Amino acid sequence: MYSMHICCVRTEQEDSRSNGGSSKRGKQKEGASGISCNMFRGSWVYDQSYPLYDSSTCPFLDPEFDCQRYGRPDKSYLKYRWKPDACELPRFNGLDLLRRWKGKKIMFVGDSISVNQWQSLVCMLHAAVPDAKTTYKKNDTLSTITFTDYGVSVIRYQSTYLVDIVEEPIGRVLRLDSIQSGAAWLGIDMLVFNTWHWWSHNGKKQPWDYVRDGDQVLKDMDRLVAFNKGLTTWAKWVDANINPAATKVFFQGISPTHYKGAEWGDKNAKNCYRQTQPVNGSTYPGGPVPAQGVVTSVLGAMSKPVYLLDITLLSQLRIDAHPSAYSGDHPGMDCSHWCLAGVPDTWNQILYAALL
């Protein structure tokens, strides 16, 4: 697995200041290009120069993420910048990314959280080159936005579980050992995978009737166990099919939800509605998400390098950044997805830093 520490060059003076004069660097390690730091540990700081783009000028944004357009009254949630504890996150440079990836394909594979990150990235790129020619081809499974001046295609591939749901005589079967759609992921220069949210859905929200685990067909099973088995199938597919010299592979970590105020220390909050500020500091009272352990374990056992975008904690702290009631025609209270501009922009800043 790629190290989760991304390099940031700092002077010894800067490093000393950030540690109160001490030279102790904690989880940092020093490399040939300077001091590395953990990009995923830090806190949110107010920054008047944010957001990185204006959602009203991005032509690719789905209504459910466009919170300002659909009546969100506050704007402070747009003004927060992620500050790692031991270094600065490089400012996103969309023109640089387009030039580096000229003629290449970037694909986000996963559920609607992948759509969130995909649309964030194309909005960030569009803001950098607002006059560049683009094409947009969209359907339920595969959507492609191409910056034609640079030959860069940013693609979304819908795959809720990464593994397959197959129609069988008994009904819709979630097959934990099958990835037929993997053929569509071959020949891509950068793959960013995501899955988790739908693994916990049940009842009418569950898009399958049975789950197949090897020779067993079950009405249900422990969802964390099922997630582990499905993700292991994906990991074996990557190990068998990906050439790291030609394709960079990322796994987007577990994106948290905010439906229980007690998790962030507010027993009076039923959900994320009317939350206007991040959680202070760099710890989340509710602790880690159990699925994080599955991801770490599966990725750690792989033979091919996969970079974990470990975005859970930084996203947990952003109780203020969901669409809540301001998500277009999306029904109900949305404390799962993220407003754009917003938190997924930081995920893409870290993705950009990793590519540097």
Report yes or no on 188 lying in a domain.
Answer: yes
Q: What is the pLDDT of residues 25-70, one digit of tens each?
A: 223 323 333 446 899 999 999 999 999 999 999 999 999 999 999 9
Positions in the chain whose pLDDT score sits under 70: 1-36
Query: If DSSP codes are grouped into helix, strand and coil, which group holds residue 14?
Result: helix
Count Cβ atoms within 10 A of the Cβ of residue 1 and give its class: 0-12 exposed, 13-18 middle, 19 or more buried: middle
Report yes or no on 136 lying in a domain.
Answer: yes
- CA dihedral sign of residues 48, 348, 274, 57: positive
- 3-state percent breakdown (helix, strand, coil) of the chain, nearest 5: 30, 20, 50
Report yes or no on 29 lying in a domain.
Answer: no
The C-alpha angle with vertex 96 and arms to 90 and 97, in degrees rounded to 5, equals 85
**Full-model pTM:** 0.90
Look up 337 and say whether it is catalytic: yes
How many structural domains are present in the chain? 1
- Catalytic residue, candidates 112, 114, 159, 327: 112
In the chain, the amino acid numbered 355 is L
Domain that holds residue 213: 43-354
Report yes or no on 61 lying in a domain.
Answer: yes
Report yes or no on 127 lying in a domain.
Answer: yes
Report yes or no on 207 lying in a domain.
Answer: yes
- Catalytic residue, candidates 310, 334, 336, 345: 334
Report yes or no on 350 lying in a domain.
Answer: yes
Report yes or no on 224 lying in a domain.
Answer: yes
Q: What is the pLDDT of residues 63-107, one digit of tens each?
A: 999 999 999 999 999 999 999 998 889 999 999 999 999 999 999
Phi, psi values for residue 154, rounded to 5°: -115, 115
Position 36 scores a pLDDT of 67
